Amino acid sequence: MAPYLCIVSFLLLLSCSSALAKNYDVSAVFVFGDSLVDSGNNNNLQSLAKANFLPYGKDFDTHKPTGRFANGRLVPDFIASRLGLDLAPAYVSANDNVLQGVNFASAGSGLLESTGLVFVRHFSLPAQVDHFQNVLGNNITAKLGSKRARELSSQAIYYITVGSNDLVNNYYLLPASPLAVQYTPERFQSLLLAEYHKQLQRLHGSGGRKFVLASLTALGCSPINLLRYNVAKRGKCVDFLNDAAARFNADLKASVVKWSSSLPGSHIVFANSFDYVLDLVRNPAAHGYKVGDQACCSGIGKNGAIVFCLRNVTTCDDTSSYVYWDEFHPSSRVYGELADRFWEGSVEDSYPINVKQLSTL
């Protein structure tokens, strides 16, 4: 009787998992952006921005480093699981495993080709879109044929997190960036949003219809920027960086409706990470965290910040009690909470609809 019950339970579990996936009209998750979502595309590049060594990945499914700049999963990973899909493999190692999504993101990248040069090599957002179009044309279409490949493309979610490096590691890079001399902050932001729209147009032209555009986080609150700008008081951040991120986010959110109208058949969601991360830093205890302004990985220098989390360094004892995993990137606990908010939160979290609602369209 016991083995029979085990078999029945297993079949029920499979049935529930299948039903979960069938509730959503999403074929795949394609991921674009920077180190907040990179899953390993920089691993074999001549780049200073790499995370393919422990302790990165120590809390991941395999407990091994993958190239993710986190102790575990990233926001798109949590969303893929919600949809009953496999985690999107990194583009550089995907091979033929492309039908449930691919991650094209690259640490250090931005909207502009000039962004992130301090890290040496990376794939900019325009290059990432090039890679997607190559995968769609050479891999997915070869497997499914043109009609079914187009259907897969139109039913996929395109998750994009980009813009942080354009500000922190380009326009506001110390000493003064050439772009800061050439453009006012307002004109530079317009330049970024114009490039953002251009890349969305390219994805739309390749069949993309469901887009999630993640906001910039509270850039001025990351441990590396607290160190860089000598902010010592707990709960305080670098105001001008947060103000720049907030302005970018406001314009990106306002563009969602306009861009949806200019891209026929598209549905675009603005996912707000800024407000929650800012509140976590200011009031960590209110959300069950102990430390909001120090990095769990490194613990070297003021605010626990250093250029990067070091190879095999001793980390904090309890990763889940820290808002920041390393000097710039939130912990996987934060990513999971953001994913929950994006998935079924209010319009304050996801605008004008949440990702769960997007997934049924």
Nearest Cα neighbor of 25 from 146, 154, 204 is 154
Give the pLDDT of residue 174.
Answer: 75
Task: Return the percentage of the chain with pLDDT > 70, whole number.
Answer: 91
Q: Which residues contact 325 (CB under 8 A, 6 or more apart)?
A: 69, 70, 71, 295, 296, 297, 309, 319, 331, 332
Q: Determine the pLDDT at residue 312.
A: 80
Q: Do the beta carbons of residue 167 and residue 183 sit within 8 Å?
A: no
pLDDT at 20: 47
* Amino acid letter, residue 298: S
Residue 7 CB neighbour total at 10 angstroms: 10
Report residues of the chain scoring pLDDT below 70: 1-22, 299-308
Give strand pairing partners of 361. none
Residue 110 near residue 171, CB atoms below 8 Å: no
- What per-residue confidence (pLDDT) applies to 301? 58
pLDDT for 303 equals 56
**What are the tokens at 19?**
């039903």
Positions annotated as catalytic residues are 35, 326, 329
Q: How far apart are CA 47 and CA 156, in angstroms?
A: 30
pLDDT at 3: 43
Q: Please name each of the domains of the chain with its CATH number.
A: 26-219+239-273+332-346 (3.40.50.1110)
Model confidence pLDDT, tens digit, residues 295-354:
999 755 555 554 568 888 889 999 999 999 999 999 999 999 999 999 999 999 999 999
pLDDT of residue 255: 97
pTM value? Answer: 0.92
